[in-house]
Amino acid sequence: MENLKKVFHRIRLRGSFHGLCLLVFIVLCFKQQQPNNNKQTSNVLNRLALSSNLNALIIEPTDCSGLNQHEGYDNECDFLQDNPQCLSGGYFYYLEFFYCDCVNYAFFAYIALGIWLVALFYLLGNTSADYFCCCLEKLSNVLSLPPTVAGVTLLPLGNGAPDVFACIASFVGTENADVGLNSISGGAVFIICVVVGTISLYVANQGVTIDKNCFVRDVCTFLFAVVILGVILFVGEVTVGGAIAFVSIYAVYATFVAATEFLRKKDGSFKIDGYEPLLPLADTNENSGVKESDDVPHLVKSKVPHWMWGSNVAMYSDVKCHGTEDCPIKPQWGWIDEETQSENPGCSFSCSKLIKWLEYPLMLTRRLTIPIIDEERWSKGYAVASVTLAPLLLAFLWNSQNEGSELSEDVIYIGGAAIGCVLGVAAYTFTKPDQPPQKFLLPWVLGGFFMSIIWFYMVANELVALLVALGLIFRVNPSILGLTVLAWGNSMGDLMSNFALAMNGADGVQIAISGCYAGPMFNTLIGLGVSMLIGSWSKRPDAYTISRDSGLFCNLGFIVIGLVWALVVLPRNQMQPSKLLGMGLIGIYLAFLCLRIGMAVVAGTLNGSS
């Protein structure tokens, strides 16, 4: 009975969450950017006319720093209506929703924006778990990538996709690079301190030994990347060549790891001198030194278990496991306890049906635009619709990001519709209702891969825009929200998945510890590297200017402290995680958090007094 109540509680919780997200989405749809453009244009023209008059008393501000003071205006709403630059950056008018529509209902606005913040985190993680990681798995199979190559390229991309694309969105979509920089660096401090510290406290005194070669390699590479990033921040600008060089650090690291594993495999041994790969590799060769285990995930002939592709975001997944070879019988992060699901099948069926209807709008838009050729999720109707509507979505994004004449916008929409119709007819003609396509898999997979990235960009861009709006509402620097809210939200998956792996024994601890350093290193080199590359490319031939905020140097400094602490303590304890390591790392993070918040408070006080 207790288990049944627990199941019903989870069902109600999930159903309520999707219902609230849907309600908030409908409310925010009335505050989209487009409807009020005429009103804002009129206000801007009036302001420009007033500004041309020498007797005009109100000076047009260049940014939103004066929103809270709104000098010369009766309230924040009037300030927003005359300053449309404060409302840009997302698809919804969060500030106008808060200050104009909910001026007398602030409590309701706080709840709505809070729910929408959680919903965006969910959409970011769910898109990675149920769409992007599926495409990565298929791409690995189609390209016949060796397991080690997939383990150091596609696998970290699947797990780090939310962080990477949130960072890219902050550099490009909203032009708030500080949010992305603080999110990536703050998330790195959280993972190497809190996650590694928690795992160390859990396995302390259990005699678990971490592979020294693998650990030193990863930590030293990460240290080198942090030092180079510090140099870039100190210079304050980066060129296209500099950004490419920064990204190439991970390319060299991945090549070295792949080459090392290839040579070891060629020698017929996966374990030499106590060395274990980042991920245990399974092979049909009887001489392989690794034994398959039900508790440890394996990469089998370039075929990676679906949950492993999104191990850090599996808690967001809606895909149910049915005991197939690609999916464990018991999901690592499931919503429904299958052991008690059959005790009351009628109620369970009706509750699940209700949940599906509530989450349907959140799923439908992505399902109709992201091609999925997974065997268990194949649907010819969705496949035809996705290839038909995807070009229209791209046309909408292009027009929304590039201002042009109505004629050019219409031409882009017509071109997108024409391409979509051609692809839709081809998909309808050459696919079967009962199985996914067996030919031309690469275009299907690349289409799903690309559209997943598009959805990442849209959701991450909206998430960053919301954080910037919340920073203005709460009078907090948005970079602090990126350091805390965004970093914590994107790192919860790392904490849960790596801790769960550590509970599976010594091999699981090895994978978890390796992931705690390889993951943030990937996010730093690829996430920040690609972001700087896109930013510098858009500013070429000039360099891309990066903020020289002292808080960013503080973040990098604590990353170095956390890495050096582990690099000193672990070898002195014969590579066995201890309470000293765990308590030290957690203490470092608490000191880091107190220092950054104190710096923000002091900076806010000084700005307020000035």
Among candidates 272, 327, 235, which has minimal Cα distance to 552? 235
The amino acid present at 84, given as its one-letter code, is: P
SS (H, E, C) 439-451: CCHHHHHHHHHHH
Chain segment 98-112, per-residue pLDDT in tens: 888 888 888 898 999
Q: 545 or 300, which is more confident?
A: 545
> What is the CATH number for 550?
1.20.1420.30
pLDDT of residue 606: 47
By the 10 Å C-beta count (0-12 exposed, 13-18 middle, 19+ buried), 10 is classed as middle
pLDDT of residue 130: 87
Chain segment 233-291, per-residue pLDDT in tens: 898 888 999 999 999 999 999 888 888 877 777 765 444 343 344 444 334 343 333 34
Chain segment 336-346, per-residue pLDDT in tens: 333 334 445 55
Q: How far apart are CA 475 and CA 230, in angstroms?
A: 28
If one counts every other C-beta atom within 10 angstroms of the C-beta of residue 280, the result is 22
Q: 313 or 581, which is more confident?
A: 581
Chain segment 30-51, per-residue pLDDT in tens: 666 544 444 444 443 343 343 3
**pTM recorded for the entire structure:** 0.75
Chain segment 283-333, per-residue pLDDT in tens: 434 333 334 433 333 333 334 555 566 667 777 777 765 444 444 434 433
Work out how many domains the chain is built from and give that number.
1
Task: Categorize the per-residue pLDDT at 393 as very low, low, confident or very high, splitting at 50, 70 and 90.
Answer: very high
Is 407 a domain residue? no
Is 422 a domain residue? no
Task: Categorize the per-residue pLDDT at 358 as very low, low, confident or very high, splitting at 50, 70 and 90.
Answer: low
Is 509 a domain residue? yes
| Segment among 61-65, 253-257, 577-581 with least mean pLDDT | 61-65
DSSP 99: I
pLDDT of residue 59: 33
Is 485 a domain residue? yes
Is 505 a domain residue? yes
Summarize the confidence of residues 49-75 as an average pLDDT. 53
pLDDT of residue 245: 94
Is 216 a domain residue? yes
Planar angle of CA 454, 460, 360, nearest 5 degrees: 70
Return the exposure string of 408-443: e unless at least 16 CB atoms fall within 10 Å of the residue's CB, then b: ebeebbeebeebbeebbeebeeebeeeebbeeeeee
Is 244 a domain residue? yes
Summarize the confidence of residues 148-168 as an average pLDDT. 78
Q: How far apart are CA 70 and CA 58, in angstroms?
A: 10
DSSP 375: G
CA quadruple 164, 168, 171, 172: dihedral, nearest 10: -170
pLDDT of residue 610: 41
Q: How far apart are CA 159 and CA 154, in angstroms?
A: 9
Are the C-beta atoms of residues 10 and 18 closer than 8 Å to each other? no
pLDDT of residue 349: 53
Average pLDDT, the chain: 76
pLDDT of residue 353: 66
Is 176 a domain residue? yes
pLDDT of residue 514: 83
Would you state the structure tokens that stand for residue 279, as one six-digit string? 């991920």
**Percentage of the chain with pLDDT > 70?**
73
Task: Categorize the per-residue pLDDT at 13 as very low, low, confident or very high, splitting at 50, 70 and 90.
Answer: low
Q: Pairing relation of β-strands 544-545 and 237-238? A: antiparallel
| Whether residue 218 has pLDDT greater than 60 | yes
Domain that holds residue 156: 145-265+477-609
Chain segment 452-511, per-residue pLDDT in tens: 989 988 888 888 888 888 888 888 877 788 778 888 887 877 787 778 778 877 777 888
